[in-house]
Amino acid sequence: MRKLFSGLTALTIFIFSQLAIQAQTTGSIAGTVVDQNGAVVPNATVTVKGESGQEFTASTGSNGLYNIPAVPSGFYTVTVTGTGFKTAVTTNVKVDVGLPTTVDSRLEVGDVGETVE
């Protein structure tokens, strides 16, 4: 009887975990922003813009890390700006449902008006 109960419990947990995965409709974008010497860049602004106009913004912490959760699946452009640095742009970033996407950026010293792709 115990084997039947534990088997049913395991099956129930498996079914509900699969339903939870199927119910997700978003992924995430996270990464690290560094300068050309590899030093982290705190307080950089990271903007993620989707093909349909969706836009998400985050700032890097003191460790240069950022995280943007709950990004719908699709393709995005990630733009990173920081004071005293050129703007970095990464295009065609694919976000899949339930998966983290990593976009690390390297900023070069220069005017924000200058763009590095």
| Residues 11-26 pLDDT 10s | 556 555 554 555 678 9
Q: pLDDT (tens digit, 9 = 90+) per residue, 30-39?
A: 999 999 999 9
pTM: 0.77
d(CA 105, CA 89): 8
CA distances from 3 to 8, 16, 57, 109 (A): 8, 20, 50, 64
Burial letters for 47-63: b for 16+ Cβ neighbours within 10 Å, e otherwise? bbebeeeeebebebeee
Query: pLDDT band at residue 111, thresholds of 50, 70 and 90?
Result: confident
